[in-house]
Structure 1
Amino acid sequence: MLPPTENGDSSDTERTKNELSGTERTVLEERKLTGMRRTIANRLQESSQNAAHVTATREVDAEELSRAATLASERFDVDVSVLDVVLCALSETLAAHPGFNATLEDGVHRLYETQNVAIAVDIDAGLVTPVLTDLESKSLQEIALERRELTESVQAGDYSMSDLQGGTFTVTNLGVLGVDSFTPIINPPEVAIIGVNRIRECARPDEDGGVEFRKQITFDLSFDHRVVDGADAARFLETLSANLEDAKALV
């Protein structure tokens, strides 16, 4: 234990600790975890400790995905983003692989017909996941409108806890921030979350033996290995890839 300083100043104690360790550290700011930040920290720690996290990654051709977003924006007179098209393709993928549209509670793996997809939104207080309900019943145009309204409401602080509950699957998008790949953390009690990354130009061999540049996007699917396996995740990503490479059919 360090000896007390004469005046009991905590800064002197910190300075003494630094001297004993052979380092010097000047504190810029101290931020206690309170409110929402503490809740987020606790939930992430719970998820990390309780779920058997595994992440599978797949690179997907994004040429048709980009065209579909542009075409839909022109056709519907609505600003349809790449994420909106991804959500539409994701809905079909979840219908084909219901084990991922699910929760795990009290040892029971519950699969849902209703797709209540939580969408991660970054706000000043931290990361929140408002739920876009009944995704399976919505057209691409409806998804674009409702997702935008939901995001803007949350960013304006106009939401309640009920807007963050009842999710069956989560989408988190760091592509808008230039990220190529990351490891999403499952939002309990859900069993899976998918990370959407940026679209980038990549060199690929063409049919004539040359090189062409095509748009590519990477998806990171984190899943709870207690209830779904790696092969299941691979098939999920294969279906999502097929849906996105035929994205014009979603418009």
Structure 2
Amino acid sequence: MEKTYKILLVEDDESLGYLLSEYLKMKQLQVEWAQDGSKVMELMEQRLFDLIVLDVMMPHLDGFTLARQIKDKHPNMPFIFLTAKSLKIDVLKGFSLGALDYLKKPIDEEELVARIMAHLSRLEKTVAAPIEKEVISIGSYSFDNRNHVLLHEGESMRLTARETELLKFLVQHKNNLCSHKDILLSIWGNNDYFNRKSLNVFVTHLRKYLEKDPSIKIENVHGRGFILKVNQ
């Protein structure tokens, strides 16, 4: 039996929210529509969701602030932004907060569903994929990829789902060049300009997490990709 995914749609515009929620339901997705961002955290305590579609420009609580709250309390919850804010700085800010995608209004309903299903499919494959080791050694760090945790001398750092995917990919190819294209197609599913910018943001996150061990370095090979170098 095919799984029915549960989507939380956070959109304050009544007309657009109704249109999108009804369209998603037509595509056999279970949809909970929240018009007020300030109610979302309470709602997430009551119900389980597979993915959140999050508007940025909302009264009371904007989408970027809400995304931070979601990430703090539910670090593995995937979410995508749906917004009219299309400046590069807004797009990069969205990705830096851990968003899987950033869709600009006006949005085509079919494209929204296609992107939702593509992300859910990739996330499910990541969870279902066989894991050779639950805990992997990276220099003086221990990487618990199943639980999205990086450990160093008793200190625990919680990673987002996307940070975990990226670090796992680099570890699997450590000391070898990982091209931008291979990383993006494997993890983001799309090798475009904004996803490349998003990749750079996540590499910056990982560098900060790994900076306590000087034997570890994520090297940028200009115009080609990245190498996770671990000196044994």
Query: Do they superpose with TM above 0.5?
Result: no
TM, length-normalised to structure 1? 0.21
Greater relative CO, 1 or 2 (CA 8 Å, sep 6+): 1
Greater C-alpha radius of gyration:
1
TM-score (norm 2): 0.22
